Amino acid sequence: MRPALLVFRREFAAYFSTPVAAVFLIVFLALAAGMTFLVSGFFDRGQADLSGFFFWHPWLFLVLMPAIAMRLWAEERRSGTIEILMTLPVESWQIVLGKWLAAWAFAALALVLTMPLWITVNLLGSPDNGVILSSYIGSWLMAGAFLALAAAISALTKSQVLAFIAATAVSFLFVMAGFDLVISAVRQWAPGFVIDAVRSMSFFANFQHITDGVLELPSIIFFVSLIAFSLWLNVRIIEIKKAA
């Protein structure tokens, strides 16, 4: 595990070596607050909860998580440092894990910075703090899934822009998997169980299960296994690229 932690430390620090981190955090907080107060009408609803805040997370993450993860591998390929990294005496999965953990920790920081909202609703009323906590955990898990997908895609290219666009496109399919847009495309040819499977992969639906109340186990398992699968895919992409 030590190499993974060393990679984690280096990558996490790298986020703060340029103003990009600060810009990102400001954009995230501004968008999250803007959506909550202006679009969801936080004050007009007269309810002390954060559902108007969490509702937007799948859409915000759709763009913001690929932005966090796009540089993880593409930048290494562009600058050539990947040759140094991949000839160090450590396993590929340790590097893959360390990089993803760094991005995930950065996402955690972004979420932690929205805590004033939580404090606000507690001052205004008496929200169900259990639901809010499970929503935060669910949001973080969903962010992890977005990041793991985007990191794997980033390993395919040396262009950060390309990595960002491709990751956003793939993430969009996952967010929309429960909606007619995707389902109708599948319904033409696929048997029922495939349609159900596609529908069950919807980020939006799975996240909603979590924010609706309890931390629902199937949804948690979904996000965790998608993270695990994407990390595995990331390792495979790295290995296959070596032979290409």
Partner 1 sequence: MPLVVARDLVKRFGSLTAVDRISFSVERGEVVGFLGPNGAGKSTAMRIISGFMEPTSGQAWIDGHDSHTDPIAARRRLGYLPEGAPAYADMTVGAFLEFIASMHGMTKPQANARLAELVDRVDLADVWNQRIESLSKGFKRRVAIAQALVHDPDALILDEPTDGLDPIQKYEMRDLIRSIAPHKAIIISTHILEEVEAVCTRAIIIAKGRMLADATPAELLSRAPGHGTLALALATADPQGAIDILSKHPGVGRVDVVQRVNGVTRIAIRTAKTRPSTDEITSLLGRSNIAVTEFYMERATLDDVFRHITIHGSEN
Q: What is the Rg, in whole angstroms, of the alpha carbon atoms belonging to the chain? A: 19
55 CB-near residues (< 8 Å, 6+ apart):
35, 40, 211
Give the separation between CA 143 and CA 107, rounded to whole angstroms: 7
Among 29, 31, 86, 137, binds partner 1 (CB under 8 A): 86
Q: How many residues bind partner 1 (CB under 8 A)?
A: 21
- Binding range to partner 1, per CB under 8 A, among 86-94, 146-154, 158-166, 184-192: 86-94
Shortest distance in whole angstroms from residue 13 CB to partner 1 = 8
Least distance between partner 1 and beta carbon 159 (Å): 17
1 touching partner 1, by CB under 8 A: no
Question: Considering the rule CB under 8 A, would residue 23 count as an interface residue with partner 1?
Answer: no
225 counts as binding partner 1 under rule CB under 8 A: no
* Per-residue CA distances from 56 to 166, 176, 195, 234 (Å): 21, 14, 25, 28
Q: Is residue 3 near partner 1 by the rule CB under 8 A?
A: yes
Residue 64 in contact with residue 49, Cβ under 8 Å? no
Q: How far is the CB of 166 from partner 1 (least distance, A)?
A: 23
From candidates 81, 122, 129, 225, binder to partner 1 by CB under 8 A:
81
Among candidates 169, 165, 203, 167, which has minimal Cα distance to 56? 203
Position 18 contacts partner 1 (CB under 8 A):
yes
Residue 17 CA to residue 19 CA, distance in Å, equals 7
Q: From the list 30, 39, 41, 83, which residue makes contact with partner 1 (rule: CB under 8 A)? A: 83
**Residue 128 binding partner 1, by CB under 8 A:** no
Report the C-alpha gap between 25 and 23 in whole angstroms.
Answer: 6
Residue 87 vs 188, nearer CB to partner 1: 87
Got the DSSP string for 17-51? SSTHHHHHHHHHHHHHHHIIIIIS-HHHH---SSH
| 19 binds partner 1 per the rule CB under 8 A | no
Residue 88 interacting with partner 1 (CB under 8 A):
yes
Nearest to 215 by CA among 140, 146, 149: 140
Residues that bind partner 1 (CB under 8 A): 2-3, 6-7, 10, 14, 17-18, 79-81, 83-84, 86-91, 242-243
